[in-house]
Amino acid sequence: MQNNDLHKKESIEFLIKNTDMFLDADYEKLASQIEGHRYFLGKNLQMPITWDEAVYSWMSNLYEPISQVMETWTTQMSFPGKRKADLFFEVCDHLYYLSVAKQSEVNAYDAVLDYNAQYGKTLGRILAKLMSFNHAA
């Protein structure tokens, strides 16, 4: 294994061990998420981004804000029993597609709320729709 690959492996293993969300089974999805983030960050900034910069940016701009919003009772009611990591990856995809559709950046709060309103269950979905409506007004 090359030194660069070993460094990537170590940083992803660190994320798995030091968050309450991810498991070893999420390794490939995490690597893909960070690599995709690295690509778009470099494209937006028009400069090469190191792996460490990408991991830091991913943690600060995706993981932390999305995971914080996912802790709300609206999300928990919308997806009872769903594994946090699976929901996180789904919300990340939703955030990307919302940003593409709006042709501008969408914040984590709006993406999670919209995801809850569109795909959630029962009362959580209804509350998310109400909150989306109030937030947009």
pLDDT, tens digit, for every residue of 9-52?
Answer: 888 888 888 888 999 999 999 999 999 999 999 999 999 999 99
Q: How far apart (Å, rounded) are the C-alpha atoms in residues 40 and 32?
A: 12
Whether 76 and 124 have beta carbons less than 8 Å apart is answered as: yes
Q: Cα-flanking dihedrals φ and ψ of residue 71, to 5°?
A: -80, -5
**What was the pLDDT predicted at 100?**
92
Global confidence as pTM: 0.85
Least Cα distance to 113 among 79, 83, 69, 81 occurs for 69
Q: What is the mean pLDDT of residues 117-129?
A: 81
Contacts of residue 116, Cβ cutoff 8 Å, sequence gap at least 6? 74, 75, 78, 79, 124, 125, 128
Question: Does the structure show a pLDDT above 90 at 1?
Answer: no
Question: Does the structure show a pLDDT above 90 at 93?
Answer: yes
**What was the pLDDT predicted at 64?**
93
The model's confidence at residue 3, banded by pLDDT at 50, 70 and 90, is low
